[in-house]
Structure 1
Amino acid sequence: MVVWIIGLSGSGKSTLAQEVTRLTRASGRACVLLDGDAVRQVFGADLGHSLKDRHKNAKRFNGLCKLLDDQGVDVVCAILSLFEDTRQWNRDNLRAYREVFLDVPLNALAARDPKGLYREALAGRMADMPGVDIPFVRPARPDLTITNTGSLDALLARAPEIAAMILGHAPGFPDAGGGR
């Protein structure tokens, strides 16, 4: 299964993905974590942050997920995921695919701002920032939406539910995944 955790910078994608991966592995399942920043570094940080480069990076994630999925490896991705076509590609080409959207208002993200990105973008000193000068269109049909405006503990409390999706123990969870 591939779990695609979507959200703007600072929404908690990496934090949640790390905990979901930890819980999945603790249950004895092989699980790979693909994080947006880490994948960029693996490929030599050869892409910028323009829409074109962001789309190319998302396509890399598609390919990596397909490679691992075809080998029966569970994958948790923490990715901004601006593009519906890459999410649709996942639905069409992966054995099982789930989208988890971390919904956080821009004012909360700007207040958190762990990397200082919103401060720079809102001041006009940085371009190509999703949610500021690049529109972020909410995913049309995530399998799970988490409003992350609370504590870190509240966010991490959702990790067992997502790990259960991977482990196949989530009764009643909608089967909106890949169609293969």
Structure 2
Amino acid sequence: MGQVYWITGLSGAGKTTIGKFFYEKLRRKYANTVFLDGDMLREVFGNDLGYSDADRRKCAMRYSNLCNLLQKQGIHVICCTISMFDSVRKWNREHIENYHEIYVKVSDKTLHDRDQKGLYSRYQNGEEKELAGFQVGIELPQNPDLILLNDGEKTPEEQADIILDNCCF
């Protein structure tokens, strides 16, 4: 039976970077491992949804259903997504066997300092209108299986090791 590792956090928190290191480590143990990222999935699904609350919910449920389908087929899934809604994470816990929720937590200062996609500088300039966690409300995970503090004290590879050490196989 596969496992789902749902890595969540704000844009720029390090979800994808940590997730890729975790994927490489897990794939050495299980060849049937896939890596999914929110930006990649939006593209795969045809970029047909916007960033309204309803579209974000629909998008998140696509990811959840895909992870559930793959997990039921014995595939280990690492899914890195902002995952803004408690209802989606609740659905995951109720419907996906072997579900592990990992929250990548960072300070606002670290988010602004990293700003890899330029979202936070555009937000400060008033150009970005739909930034999750700022203009757009977000429900942060209340009971994740693991919280990774990712303000730079540990490398992404060390963070991936923490997931390996703390999530059951």
Show the counterpart of 2:108: 106
Query: Among 2, 5, 26, which residue is 1:3 paired with?
Result: 5
Matched ranges for 1:140-159 at <5 A: 140-151=142-153, 154-159=155-160
In the alignment, structure 2 segments of 5+ residues that lack a partner are none
Q: Deviations over 1:106-160 (max 9, x none)?
A: 2210111001011112221121111220123321101110111015x52320212
Does the residue aligned with 1:32 lie in a helix, a strand or coil? strand
Q: Distance in 1 between matches of 2:76 and 2:135?
A: 34
In the alignment, structure 1 segments of 5+ residues that lack a partner are 169-180
RMSD: 1.5
Q: Distance in 1 between matches of 2:111 and 2:30?
A: 35
Amino acid at match of 1:160: D
Matched ranges for 1:48-127 at <5 A: 48-127=50-129
- Asked if the contact 1:62–1:86 (Cα under 8 Å) also holds between the matched residues in 2, the reply is yes
Mean Cα displacement is larger for which, 107-116 or 128-137?
128-137
Seen in structure 2, the aligned counterparts of structure 1 residues 116 and 107 have a Cα distance that, compared at 3 Å, is same
- The structure 1 segments of at least 4 consecutive aligned residues displaced by more than 6 Å after TM superposition are none
Show the counterpart of 2:162: 161
TM-score normalized by structure 2?
Answer: 0.92
Mean Cα displacement is larger for which, 92-101 or 25-34?
25-34
Q: Deviations over 1:1-57 (max 9, x none)?
A: 101001100000000111111111112331111100000000111111222211111
